[in-house]
Amino acid sequence: MAIILKTSPRTFSPVYNKNEHCIFQDDAAIRTKPDYRYLFDIKISDYISGSTIIVRTKVSPDPSNALGVQDVQGFVEQYVKEHIVPYNSTDAIANTENAIISYFVEYGEEYRLTTSDPIVEYQNQLTGAIKWAWGSSLETHRWIDFYNNLEYLNYLFDTNNQGEFLTNYKTPTNFITDLGWHWYLTDDPVNVDFMRVLTYDNAGVLIDTFDIPNNANTAVDNSRMNSVATAPQSFNNITGAFLVGAQPVITSSVATYTIQCFKTGGFSVGEILTFTVDTPCFYEVYRIHFENEYGAFDSFNFTKNSKRSSKGSRKSYVTNSPTLSTSGISYKHSTENKVDYFGMNTDSISLVSDLIDTDTNNWLKEMAFTNRAFLEFTDSSGVKNFKPCKVLSTSWSESIDAIDKAFNFEVEIELADNFKQRT
C-alpha cells in the first residue's frame, strides 16, 4: 500500500494554466490517521544560479474522495521569465534562457500515529517525472483540448512530429528592414541542427538556398524552447559561417522566402513557414512585437495613417507670499501664483493597419490583450532598437459579415512616461 500518482500535467504545459498534481494514499488505515496531510515538494531548476529551489506544500485529503490535489502553477510561474530576443542579436537560433523551466514533484505525507503523538513527515514516498513549463496562457477551452488531446506533441520539433512554430500567424508579411523571430519547442535540443532558407523572386523562381547552423543546440537544460531568426534584417544580422550560402540572405530581389528546421541528414523537424517581402508606402511604419498566447513573440506592421498624441498631468499648489519691508506687508500680483510640484506627460500612438482578413484579425486579438509589447524603432545612431509600450485595448470584436472580410485593425499604444521639471 502506498501513495499513487493519479494525474499530473503533461510533459510540456502552459505555465499560466492549471498544472495540477493529483495523488492518493490507497491504504485507508494510513490516510485516516490523525492530522493526515499530503506533502508536495516542488523542485525547480534555476539556470541562473544552478541551484534547486524547494517549495513544500501540505494538502488535506478531499473529504469526498480522499485525493490530494495541488496546482503548482502559482509556484512555478515565478521562475518563468519574459524573453524577447535582443534587438542586436546575431544568432540564427538562440536559447530563450528562463522562458521555459523544468521541475518535478516529490510526493509524501504526514500524520500522527495517535492523537497524542507528534506529527511525523514521510517525505519523498514517490518521485514524479520531469515537467517543462513555459510562459503560455491558453483560453480555457483551448487549454482543455491541449491537455486532453496531448496537443503539446504538435509543437515539438523532432523527426516524428514535424512540429509547429509557437504562433497562430502562419503567413507573415515583412519589410526588408524588419527584425523578427519565431519560437519552437523540442524534447531534445539536438533535434535541430540547422535551418534552411529558400528565397524566391516575383515569378516564384528560386534565387538561393541557405543552410544556417544551430549553434545553440548543446545546452541541454535550457534549449527546450528556442528562437529562430525569421525577418529579413534578423537574417542579414547573422554572423558566422553558413553551411550553404553566404550573406546577405534577403536582398531587394527577394519577393518571398521560406524557412524550415532540419536535423543533419536532411530530416525535417518542423513546419514550413512562408514569408512575403513588401515595400512600405508613404506612411510611417510602426512595428510592434508582442507576446502571444504561447509565450513567444509575434510581430506586426501598422502601415496606415497613425496618429501620435500626448497627455499631461500636473499637481500644483497656490502661492500667496506677501512682501515684507520696513513699511510693513505688501502684496504683488507677481507673487500670487500656482506652482507645479509634479508634472508628467505620456506619449501614445493610435495605430492603423492595412486591410486585413478575418483570420489575421482573429490572430491580432492576442495583441489587443497582451501584457508585453515592444515598439521597434531606429535610434539616433541609425541602429534598430526596442522601446517598451503598453497596449491600451480593452475590447476586441470579430467581423463575420460578408462585407467585413477586409478591414483595418486599430489599436492604441502608450509609451513610457516623461517627467517634467518641478518647482
Q: Judge whether 282 and 272 are in contact, CB under 8 Å.
A: no
pLDDT at 62 over 60: yes
Q: Mean pLDDT check: name the lowest of 41-45, 342-346, 369-373.
A: 342-346
Class of residue 116 by CB neighbours under 10 A (exposed 0-12, middle 13-18, buried 19+): exposed
More confident residue, 68 or 99: 68
pLDDT at residue 98, rounded to an integer: 76
Q: Considering only CA atoms, which of 268, 217, 216 is closest in space to residue 238?
A: 216
Q: Backbone phi, then psi, for 39, in 5-degree steps?
A: -110, 135
Residue 246 banded pLDDT, cuts 50, 70, 90: very high
Q: 354 phi and psi, to 5 degrees?
A: -70, 175
pLDDT interval class at 1 (50, 70, 90) = low
Task: Assign 407 a pLDDT band (cuts: 50, 70, 90).
Answer: confident
In this model, does residue 137 exceed pLDDT 70? yes
> How many DSSP H helices and E strands does the chain contain?
6, 27
Provide the residue ranges of all domains of the chain, joining segments of one domain with +.
Answer: 3-137, 151-279
Q: Where are the beta strands (DSSP E) in 282-423?
A: 286-291, 297-302, 307-320, 323-325, 328-330, 336-352, 373-378, 384-391, 410-419
Q: Does residue 262 surpass a pLDDT of 60?
A: yes
Mean pLDDT, residues 60-69 taken together: 96
Q: Quick check: 248 and 210 in contact, CB under 8 A?
A: no
Rounded CA separation 24/3 (Å): 5
Output the pTM of the full model.
Answer: 0.86
Does residue 188 or residue 363 have the better pLDDT? 363
Cα distances (Å, whole numbers) of residue 303 to 182, 241, 378, 401: 22, 35, 16, 24
The reply to whether domains 3-137 and 151-279 share a CATH topology is yes
Q: What phi and psi, each to the nearest 5 degrees, are found at residue 300? A: -155, 140
CB 225 within 8 Å of CB 218: no
Confidence tier at 336 by pLDDT (50, 70, 90): low
pLDDT of residue 198: 98
What pLDDT sits at residue 162? Answer: 83
According to DSSP H, which parts of 269-329 are helical? none
Residue 404 banded pLDDT, cuts 50, 70, 90 = low
Instruction: State in words which class domain 151-279 has.
Output: mainly beta
Torsion-angle region of residue 293: left (phi > 0), alpha (psi -120 to 50) or beta? alpha
Question: Would the pLDDT of 401 be above 70?
Answer: no
Give the span between the Cα atoms of 133 and 97, in whole angstroms: 13
Supply the pLDDT for residue 334: 60
At 223 the pLDDT is 74
CA distance 93 to 299: 17
254 touches 125 (CB < 8 A): no
Res 340: pLDDT: 66
- Please report, in angstroms and rounded to a whole number, the separation of the first and last CA atoms in the chain: 75
- Residues of the chain with pLDDT > 70, as a percent, come to 85
Percent of the chain clearing pLDDT 90 (strictly above): 57
Q: Is the pLDDT of residue 347 over 90?
A: no
Q: What is the rounded average pLDDT of the residues 205-219? A: 88
- Res. 53 pLDDT band, cuts 50 70 90: confident
| pLDDT above 60 for 148 | yes
Chain center to CA of 35? 42
Q: Are 31 and 61 in contact (CB under 8 A)?
A: yes
pLDDT in the model for residue 161? 73
Of 255, 222, 234, nearest to 297 (Cα)?
Answer: 234
Give pLDDT, residue 107. 97
321: pLDDT strictly greater than 70 = no
- Cβ count within 10 A of residue 258: 13
> In the CATH hierarchy, which top-level class contains the domain 3-137?
mainly beta
> Mean pLDDT score of the chain, rounded to an integer?
87
337, HSE (Cβ side, Cα atoms, 13 Å): 9
Place of cell 550553404: 244
Task: Express each pLDDT in 226-245 by its tens digit.
Answer: 999 999 999 999 998 999 99
Mean pLDDT over 64-86 rounds to: 92
Residues 6+ apart with CB under 8 A from 348: 308, 309, 310, 311, 392, 412, 413, 414, 415
200 has a pLDDT exceeding 90: yes
φ, ψ dihedrals at 194, nearest 5°: -160, 165
Question: What are the residues whose beta carbons fall under 8 Å from the beta carbon of 91, sequence distance 6 or more?
Answer: 85, 215, 216, 227, 229, 238
Cell 496562457 found at: 137
Rounded to an integer, the average pLDDT of 375-389 is: 88
- With 0-12 / 13-18 / 19 or more C-beta atoms within 10 angstroms meaning exposed / middle / buried, residue 151 is middle
Structural contact between residues 25 and 109, judged by C-beta atoms closer than 8 angstroms? yes
The DSSP 8-state label assigned to residue 86 in this structure reads -
